[in-house]
Structure 1
Amino acid sequence: MTAWQPGMTITAGRLMEGPDPVITTTGVVAATGFTLSSFVGRKCGGITQVELAITVATDIAAPSASENIGDTLACTLPEGYRPLGVVSTSWGDGSQAGEATIGTTGLVTIRSVGYATATPAGRNIRISETFITGP
């Protein structure tokens, strides 16, 4: 970000500069049945991007072959890296994918898995999302 000084010339390039991003790699709390593999959170100008990988420690299984999994809490994002409203996103592990939500309190919930199959322990679920967090 430009630190404006007396006598500086206003240019398009200087006007287009934004604030420096704030980056963190800490503060995520894994829920029971998961372990955190990695996390990066970036904030800049009211926009937040989160990228996380969580490893399934306990199988996530659907009640039956014709039903999907129940809502499963995976982790909680740190304060300051949470959306203003509930965000629906997707997750994937290279073999399976499904829907997840990120709530205003930072709760990341796995809501479905494709084909209502089990997600075995050891799978590394990845979620990446960008959302508005305000100024």
Structure 2
Amino acid sequence: MPITDAYGQGFSSLDYGDVPDLKVMGEGLLKLTGKTVMSFVSASARAAQITSPVAGMFTWLDDADVLEVYDGSAWVDIPIPTYTSTTGATAASGFSLASWSGRRRAGVTLANIMVTRTGTTLNAGSDGNLADTALATLPPGWRPTQLIVAGVDDGFGCGMAVVDVTGLITLRTWSSNGSIPATRNLRLCTTWL
């Protein structure tokens, strides 16, 4: 005697001792397709495949980067909130904050920060080594959950920084024999999940 799923979705499975019926099992699996998030290149590709949508169907449209649900009469967007910030970042000693912006959507965070050197000139050795130098701290809520490596540049040289879980951005390397004098703007843009 077939058993039904525990979630009330109309999928039947075989119980021990039942004689397998591939047609019944296949139809049951096909029923599940309409209860998943189906992915399509575009709305027109979806329309070609789903000619009689049923209320509660979900689809992802690759070209529009949007999740939609059929409400019984039309496909409607399910909004994925976007969060932004331009406040709360702080510059480290020897720098001033020129700009900060953060953007988060669907678990992906983009951090864009620029600081201006206000202290004495920083000089890198011939190997690009530079004493670890704190640049800034990202605001709470805009910090990665693990150490992130990011590129930094000023238009004259470039280097590597890390962003730690406390939001501290630390410059670790710079162009060989390069320098970062006062008034130089350092830019960092990085993304994490």
Q: State the TM-score, normalized to the length of structure 1.
A: 0.82
8 Å CA contact 1:28, 1:76 repeated in 2: yes
Shift of 1:118: 1.7
CA gap of 1:38–1:10, structure 2 versus 1, over 3 A, is same
Once the two structures are TM-superposed, the CA of residue 45 in structure 1 deviates from its matched residue by 1.9
Provide the C-alpha distance between the structure 1 equivalents of 2:145 and 2:93, rounded to a whole number of angstroms: 25
Q: Which amino acid aligns with 1:90?
A: G
1:76-91 maps to which residues of 2 (within 5 A)? 76-91=137-152
> Among 60, 81, 84, which residue is 1:20 paired with?
81
- Label 1:130 to 1:18 Cα distance change in 2 as closer, same or farther (>3 A): farther
Work out the number of aligned pairs and report it.
Answer: 125
Corresponding position of 1:128: 189
Give the match's secondary structure for 1:69: strand
Is 1:68 the counterpart of 2:147? The answer is no
Higher mean C-alpha deviation, range 105-114 or range 12-21: 12-21
Q: Which runs of 5+ in 2 are unaligned?
A: 1-54, 60-65, 70-76
1:39 match? 100
The answer to whether the 8 A contact 1:30-1:76 is kept is: yes
Q: How does 1:103-118 map to 2 (within 5 A)?
A: 103-118=164-179
Corresponding residue to 2:91 among 30, 35, 49: 30
Q: Relative contact order (alpha carbons < 8 A, sep ≥ 6): 1 or 2 greater? A: 1
Q: Structure 1: any 5+ residue segments left out of the alignment?
A: 1-7
Whether the aligned pair in 2 keeps the contact of 1:55 and 1:121 (CA below 8 Å) is yes
Answer with 1 or 2: which has the greater Rg.
2
TM-score, with structure 2 as normaliser: 0.59
| Alignment root-mean-square deviation, CA | 2.2
State the SS of the aligned residue for 1:78: coil
Percent of residue pairs identical = 31
Q: Structure 1: which 4+ aligned runs deviate by more than 4 Å?
A: 8-11, 15-18, 64-67
CA contact (8 A) 1:92 1:127 kept: yes
Could you say what secondary structure the match of 2:151 adopts? strand
Give the residue type in structure 2 aligned to 1:129.
Answer: T
